[in-house]
């Protein structure tokens, strides 16, 4: 990077959307006005080259896009509307200006479709790997937050869309898995994941008691987080897990492992009372969004089980499972 100031000028948005933004990029810090009736949501996620991505599996555009998407997903999992983001980037030698611009283009194109504004960041050089850390801000109506501790026995367990796609896509990109059939949907799920912002907002607006988590680490792990926070037993029904045709081209055992332990699909997993399930799924249908019942919630102690044709089996939080 020749000139940090020239770089900041280049990536500075030439228009912003949010009326609550008082000062964006240019001063010592950004200034935003709080909105009455709302709680602020703040989160941060860091992606490190060769840990979270590498230059073979992701283009610079995709790296930027995903760095913002993972943060938007955390806001969605709180039932929030994303508003602002800041970017801290540590740049090693060897990245061209065009590649850096592409990283920012990946972020800004995703941000644009949700009217999110880039309001600041930090730029440093490093002798280590490229590291990009995005801090996102969102807001949620007061008392409409969707916490992991909200699940109760008797609830329906739901998922907003199929999982396992991103893990399958990564295996394909790393050339560990192969198929001659069309599998672009899988690689795209890994490279350009869609944060489920609209689904999160619908869940929040429904007014129902809802426990919610986004699938960043894998279905098993996220279900465990809800089970632990709510002290309940979560039962996932294997035959109810939504899937897509592209997954059917791979070995069934691999697919189940990708689904349960893969992660990075950024669908939302949650629970709602059985009484409200039908009207919640109707609300989703009316708004052109998908939601699937994938299991049930019963009395604790906290654990997660998989109900398959072999019966009920406990599943671990990560990696290893009992049925392979």
**Residue 5 CB, nearest approach to Mg ion (Å):** 11
Q: Contacting Mg ion (CB under 5 A), which of 27, 97, 115, 122?
A: 122
Residues for the chain: how many in total?
324
Cβ contacts of residue 19 below 8 Å, gap of 6+? Answer: none
Stretch in the footprint of ligand ADP (CB under 6 A) among 76-84, 117-125, 186-194, 259-267: 117-125
Comparing CB distances to ligand ADP, the nearer of 9 and 179 is 9
Per the listing, tokens 């280590």 go with: 128
Q: Are 135 and 83 in contact (CB under 8 A)?
A: no
Q: Which of 72, 66, 62, 61 is nearest to 116 (CA)?
A: 72
Q: Are 263 and 271 in contact (CB under 8 A)?
A: no
Per the listing, tokens 């869940």 go with: 203
**Any contact of residue 16 with ligand ADP (CB under 6 A)?**
no
**Any contact of residue 176 with Mg ion (CB under 5 A)?**
no
**Any contact of residue 8 with ligand ADP (CB under 6 A)?**
yes
Comparing CB distances to ligand ADP, the nearer of 134 and 202 is 134
Per the listing, tokens 């050089």 go with: 125
Binds 8: which of Mg ion, ligand ADP, none (CB < 5-8 Å by kind): ligand ADP
Per the listing, tokens 């392979």 go with: 324
Query: Could you tell me the sign of the dihedral formed by the alpha carbons of 57, 61, 64, 68, in that order?
Result: negative
Q: Contacting ligand ADP (CB under 6 A), which of 18, 123, 290, 308?
A: 123
Comparing CB distances to ligand ADP, the nearer of 27 and 299 is 27
Residue ranges for the known binding site are 28, 45, 52, 74, 104, 121-122, 148, 214, 216-217, 264, 320
Residues binding Mg ion (CB under 5 A):
122
């Amino acid at each position: 990077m020749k000139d940090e100031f020239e770089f900041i000028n280049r990536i500075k948005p030439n228009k912003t959307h949010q009326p609550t933004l008082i000062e964006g990029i240019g001063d010592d810090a950004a200034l935003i006005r709080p909105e009455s009736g709302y709680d602020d949501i703040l989160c941060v996620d860091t992606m490190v080259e060769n840990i979270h991505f590498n230059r073979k599996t992701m283009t610079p555009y995709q790296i930027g896009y995903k760095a913002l998407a993972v943060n938007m997903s955390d806001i969605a999992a709180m039932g929030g509307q994303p508003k602002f983001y800041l970017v801290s980037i540590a740049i090693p030698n060897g990245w061209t200006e065009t590649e850096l611009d592409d990283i920012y283009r990946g972020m800004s194109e995703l941000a644009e479709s949700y009217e999110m504004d880039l309001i600041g960041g930090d730029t440093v050089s490093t002798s280590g790997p490229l590291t990009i850390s995005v801090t996102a801000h969102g807001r949620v109506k007061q008392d409409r937050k969707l916490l992991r501790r909200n699940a109760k026995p008797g609830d329906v367990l739901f998922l907003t869309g199929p999982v396992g796609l991103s893990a399958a896509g990564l295996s394909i990109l790393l050339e560990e898995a192969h198929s001659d059939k069309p599998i672009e949907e899988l690689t795209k799920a890994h490279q350009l994941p869609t944060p489920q912002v609209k689904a999160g907002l619908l869940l929040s607006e429904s007014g129902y008691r809802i426990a919610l988590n986004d699938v960043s680490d894998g279905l098993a792990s996220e279900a465990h987080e809800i089970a632990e926070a709510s002290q309940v037993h979560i039962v996932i029904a294997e035959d109810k897990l939504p899937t897509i045709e592209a997954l059917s081209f791979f070995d069934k055992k691999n697919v189940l492992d990708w689904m349960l332990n893969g992660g990075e699909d950024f669908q939302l997993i949650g629970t709602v009372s059985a009484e409200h399930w039908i009207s919640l799924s109707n609300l989703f249908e009316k708004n052109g969004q998908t939601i699937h019942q994938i299991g049930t919630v019963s009395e604790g102690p906290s654990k997660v089980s998989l109900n398959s044709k072999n019966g009920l089996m406990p599943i671990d939080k990560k990696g290893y499972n009992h049925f392979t």
